[in-house]
């Protein structure tokens, strides 16, 4: 027997654009305040019964001809695009529809664009919520009011400002290949993206958003939402957690079939597929959040898709968050489910043996999301696994550090660092980047990487002489002292000179070292092409070893020239390159290596 299940809706968008605030408004709770950095990091779910939708949306439902037959809406409270991709990749096409939240004042941000790319890739229909209209100057706020009603109450200047901002959003969508319009101006929902202006904070426009989701789901997704009620259940584990009196439980989203209290289920474990029998099914009350219920759960005999459910069963200690869960009703089905689950887990966990970073995370979903982000940034991964950071991870990172110091590091998402691991990491200087906001962990690594490179460059620069070509002034008046040290006026023809640089003549003979450089009355640390300065040279005597009008060269070594060309090329400007070529002509008389330059 088939029935229509509630659509599963994902909420995507850039950090702080209001994903959780919108769900809060629908839920009338406040999860946003409790999340790390105000950003939703774990996948939660909220079931909104159709009665609530009708209550919030009221008369707007008449916009849809005919009765809304959906039982309700199930919102996945995603940490943006990361969770969305990982939920898709696990074989469960978890979201039927998405809401893309854009801060109408900030417009498109990096994660907005990333979210759109992913929605395109997975061909997921979506609606745009243009949030934070209450921040438009002079906007009159009335809580929970329908947008169209609220818009009419605004003065002309505020209306015009919103229209301008919406046109910017519509224009950007056009550039990305989408036709978009304000929802009440859309002619054909299959061809145009609907944009609903909202204030998640004050509930303005939320009614229209819910009506649109319910109506579009029913009209265009009816076939997809028809499920085989009697079939065995399939779902995804959101979280594994200890519950007082129940032991280890799993929070699950069921997206197909029916799960019964005595069913045998197969779930993914750390190194194996776990087969166990359900002891209790606990369903959160409607309008409650499965992660953070303010009231106790209801014990139920069975649950049909789509819904969020907590399962208590033996042997769930090793269950992996993010792994599939499949109900199996025969030995053959159990074996098939084990095979399918293991192949999915193997795809996410990485054991490459190559030079790369170590990645640890608390769930399969966050591991997959963090690994994906790193791979997109071309950061190679040696090992990616679920669990806390241990001493073995540190020792493995240490072996990598010997070959590449930038990759001898550990990334951790929402995990602890074991005490012995911390001690070894500090002693051996293995950097560990941990946190509970994915993009922040990667940002910390990138900042460290930049600082390390700059420090390395500073050290190299301090050890390396740059090429320079100088000419003594021909006029004898610019000989200020003939020896101990010789002080003469010169012009830098190419490159640069610094105190401490040795000098050679055109025949390759070394004649002395620059002690100091003076420009007018000031001693300076460097003179470049075109500068006319006085230099003190320890070693030669003017008239015997060097002469007015003579050209001298900075004496640089083979190692230095290799370093300049290979590691410091970006520091060389055109005049340095010309100075290097001139110096090579002089030095090749005695050393054929310089002819290769």
List pLDDT tens digits, range 532-587.
Answer: 999 999 999 999 999 999 999 999 999 999 999 888 888 899 999 999 999 999 99
CATH number (3.40.50.720, 3.40.50.300, 1.10.3720.10, 2.30.30.240) of 2-226 reads 3.40.50.300
Query: How would you list the strands of the sheet with 97-103, edge to edge?
Result: 44-49, 72-77, 8-13, 97-103, 126-131, 192-197, 179-182
The domain segmentation of the chain, as residue ranges, is 2-226, 234-346, 349-462, 468-596
Question: By CB neighbour count within 10 A (0-12 exposed, 13-18 middle, 19+ buried), where does 91 fall?
Answer: middle
Catalytic residue among 17, 81, 449, 547: 81
How are the residues of the chain apportioned to helix, strand and coil, as percentages rounded to the nearest 5? 35, 30, 35
DSSP 539: S
Give 186's DSSP letter: -
Report CA 409 to chain centroid distance, whole Å. 17
Is it the case that residue 505 has pLDDT exceeding 90? yes
Could you tell me the CA-to-CA distances from 156 to 104, 199, 538 in Å, in that order? Answer: 18, 19, 80
**349-462: which CATH number, 3.30.470.10, 3.30.300.20, 2.30.42.10, 3.40.50.10050?**
3.40.50.10050
DSSP 436-482: SSHHHHHHHHHHHHHHHHHHHHHHHHHH-PPPEEEEE-SSGGGEEES
Give the CA distances from residue 81 to residues 145, 184, 317, 510, 554, in Å, rounded to whole numbers and listed in that order.
Answer: 29, 27, 28, 64, 56
434: β partners: 412
Its CATH class, for the domain covering 468-596, is: mainly beta
What separation in angstroms does the CA of 388 have from each of 237, 317, 366, 367, 473? 19, 15, 13, 12, 70
Task: Provide mean pLDDT across the span 203-227.
Answer: 86
Q: CA 262, CA 121: separation in Å to the nearest integer?
A: 38
Q: What is the pLDDT of residues 573-584, one digit of tens each?
A: 999 999 999 999
Highest mean pLDDT among 25-34, 273-282, 358-367: 273-282
- Residue 392's pLDDT is 96
pLDDT at 89 over 70: no
Q: Do the domains at 2-226 and 349-462 have one common CATH topology?
A: yes
Residues 312 and 246: beta-carbon distance below 8 Å: yes
User: Does residue 81 carry a catalytic annotation?
Assistant: yes
The average pLDDT across 277-296 equals: 73
Q: Is the pLDDT of residue 309 over 70?
A: yes
Provide the pLDDT confidence category of residue 473 given band limits of 50, 70 and 90. very high
Q: Is the pLDDT of residue 43 over 70?
A: no
* Backbone phi, psi, residue 141, to 5°: -100, 130
Lowest mean pLDDT across 63-67, 105-109, 308-312, 514-518: 63-67
CB atoms within 10 A of CB 167: 11
What does R_g of the chain's alpha carbons equal in angstroms?
34
Say which CATH class 234-346 falls into.
mainly beta
């Amino acid at each position: 027997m088939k029935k229509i299940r509630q659509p599963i809706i994902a909420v995507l968008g850039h950090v702080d654009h209001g994903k959780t605030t919108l769900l809060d408004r629908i839920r009338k709770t406040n999860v946003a305040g409790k999340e790390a950095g105000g950003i939703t990091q774990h996948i939660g779910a909220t079931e909104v019964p159709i009665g609530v939708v009708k209550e919030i949306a009221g008369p707007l439902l008449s916009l849809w001809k005919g009765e809304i037959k959906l039982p309700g809406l199930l919102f996945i409270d995603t940490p943006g695009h990361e969770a969305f991709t990982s939920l898709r990749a696990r074989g469960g096409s978890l979201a039927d529809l998405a809401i893309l939240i854009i801060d109408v004042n900030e417009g498109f941000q990096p994660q907005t664009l990333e979210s759109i790319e992913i929605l395109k890739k997975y061909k997921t229909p979506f609606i745009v919520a243009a949030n934070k209209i209450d921040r438009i100057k002079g906007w009159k706020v009335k809580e929970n009011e329908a947008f169209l009603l609220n818009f009419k109450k605004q003065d002309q200047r505020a209306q015009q400002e919103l229209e301008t901002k919406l046109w910017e959003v519509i224009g950007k969508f056009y550039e990305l290949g989408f036709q978009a319009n304000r929802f009440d101006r859309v002619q054909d929902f299959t061809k145009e993206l609907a944009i609903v202006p909202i204030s998640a904070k004050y509930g303005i426009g939320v009614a229209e958003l819910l009506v649109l989701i319910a109506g579009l789901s029913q009209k265009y997704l009816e076939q997809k939402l028809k499920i085989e009620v009697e079939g065995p259940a399939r779902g995804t584990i959101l979280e594994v957690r200890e519950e007082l009196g129940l032991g280890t439980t799993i929070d699950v989203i069921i997206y197909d079939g029916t799960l019964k209290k005595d069913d045998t289920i197969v779930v993914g474990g750390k190194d194996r597929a776990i087969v166990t029998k359900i002891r209790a099914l606990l369903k959160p009350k409607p309008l409650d959040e499965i992660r953070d219920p303010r009231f106790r759960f209801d014990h139920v005999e069975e649950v049909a898709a789509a819904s969020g459910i907590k399962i208590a069963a033996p042997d769930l200690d090793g269950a992996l968050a993010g792994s599939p869960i499949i109900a199996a009703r025969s030995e053959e089905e159990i074996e098939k489910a084990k095979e399918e689950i293991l192949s999915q887990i193997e795809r996410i966990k990485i054991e490459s043996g190559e030079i790369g970073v170590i990645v640890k995370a608390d769930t399969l979903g966050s591991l997959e999301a963090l690994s994906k982000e790193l791979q997109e940034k071309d950061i190679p991964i040696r090992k990616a696994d679920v669990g806390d950071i241990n001493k073995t991870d540190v020792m493995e990172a240490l072996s990598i550090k010997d070959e590449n110091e930038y990759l001898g590091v550990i990334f951790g998402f929402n995990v602890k660092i074991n005490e012995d691991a911390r001690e070894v990491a500090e002693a051996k200087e293995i950097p560990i980047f941990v946190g509970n906001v994915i993009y922040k962990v990667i940002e910390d690594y990138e900042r460290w990487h930049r600082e390390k490179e700059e420090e390395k460059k500073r050290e190299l620069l301090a050890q390396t002489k740059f090429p320079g070509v100088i000419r003594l002034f021909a006029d004898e008046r610019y000989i200020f002292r003939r020896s101990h040290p010789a002080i003469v006026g010169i012009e830098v023809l190419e490159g640069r000179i610094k105190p401490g640089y040795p000098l050679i003549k055109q025949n390759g003979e070394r004649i002395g070292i620059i002690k100091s450089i003076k420009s007018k009355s000031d001693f300076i640390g460097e003179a470049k092409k075109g500068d006319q300065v006085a230099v003190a040279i320890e070693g030669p005597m003017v008239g015997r070893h060097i002469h007015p009008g003579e050209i001298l060269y900075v004496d640089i070594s083979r190692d230095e020239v290799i370093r300049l060309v290979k590691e410091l090329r970006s520091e060389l400007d055109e005049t340095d390159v010309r100075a290097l070529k001139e110096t090579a002509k002089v030095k090749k008389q005695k050393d054929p290596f310089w002819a290769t330059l």
